[in-house]
Structures are given as C-alpha cells and as structure tokens.
Amino acid sequence: MSLQITFRHLEHTPALDTQIREKSQKFTKWFGDEAQVHWTCWVEGNEQWSEVKVHARHKEYFAKAASADLYKTFDLVVQKIHNQME
C-alpha cells in the first residue's frame, strides 16, 4: 500500500501518524497491496476534519468527516469507504 499523509493547520504528531497508519491497514485488507491512499487532516473553526482518497482496482473511493475529536473522524471515513464498497 502506498500511503501519503497531509496535515493543514495542524501539527503532525507521531500519535496521529500511528493511528492513521493503523486505520489504513483496513484498506490493504480490503483492496490489497496495490491500494494508493491519501489522508488529509485539518482544523476548520471548532471542527477537525479528515478526508481520505483511495485508488484501488481501477476505482476511486473518497470520504470526508468532521468531529470535535480528530481520532473519531478516522473511524468515520474508514466506515464511509467500507460502505462505498458494498
């Protein structure tokens, strides 16, 4: 899996990096090692956002979520990608 992580207006901490890498393992499970994944995280007002784009098997998947807790957005976007697969 190819993984790219971008942070805007947000500090890139090892804890965030680790959590994103762990959540991204689901994409490898679902799409295989060929998956290309790009996460973007940012803060806008009082909300924290995550966005993930997955390119796998000649298809594009996209999800975006906001919450007061950035870690919660990771679960939300992973679930949204999973829902798109069905």
- Per-residue DSSP letters for 16-29? HHHHHHHHHHHHHH
Please report the pLDDT score of residue 57 as a whole number. 86
Per DSSP, 46 falls in state T
Mean pLDDT over 60-72 rounds to: 97
- Give the pair of three-digit tokens for residue 59: 């298809």
Which has more confidence, 24 or 85?
Answer: 24
Provide the 10 A C-beta neighbour count for residue 59.
Answer: 10
Q: What percent of the chain has pLDDT over 70?
A: 100
pTM listed for this prediction: 0.93
- Give the pair of three-digit tokens for residue 53: 């784009």
pLDDT, one tens digit per residue, over 37-58 is 999 999 999 999 999 999 998 9
Domains of the chain: 2-85 (3.30.160.100)
